[in-house]
Amino acid sequence: MDLCRAKQILQDNFECKENCFIYFLYEKNLFVEGRFWEYYDSIAFLAKSDDEKTMDIAMQITESYQKILTLFICHFDPNDGYAMDNIPQNYNEYFERIEYVIWAYFKGNVKQIDDSMFELQR
């Protein structure tokens, strides 16, 4: 992945553009693992790039993560009509990965995204 691609993936998710992770969650009610990893990798790349710690990118990361959380909350709310398909049994491990990569971006500590420390592997 390169910087331009990482920023585009993040922006596409922020704007819920067709075929991105959040698009599939929101528009198709579908968890697509490959798109999850694409979103994750874009944030990981940006976390490793010291020159890309901008307010705009921080806002896109924060707001896109909020959208993901909101969709999962709606899915698990029995009073809400929204439901997703293909949610992994270990969905909490996916959230753990996203939380750590976001922390790595904001704290500047890329050791927080060492794949070997996570139970969830690709």
18 DSSP 8-state letter: T
Task: Show me where the domains of the chain are located.
Answer: 3-117
pTM value? 0.94
Q: How far is CA 115 from the centre of its chain?
A: 16
Task: Identify the pLDDT of residue 109.
Answer: 86
Task: Identify the pLDDT of residue 39.
Answer: 98
91 SS3 class: helix
How would you write the pLDDT of the chain (122 residues) with one tens digit per residue?
A: 999 999 999 999 999 999 999 999 999 999 999 999 999 999 999 999 977 789 999 999 999 999 999 999 999 999 998 999 999 999 999 999 999 999 999 998 888 889 999 999 99
Tell me the C-alpha distance between 109 and 122, whole Å.
Answer: 22
Tell me the C-alpha distance between 86 and 122, whole Å.
Answer: 16
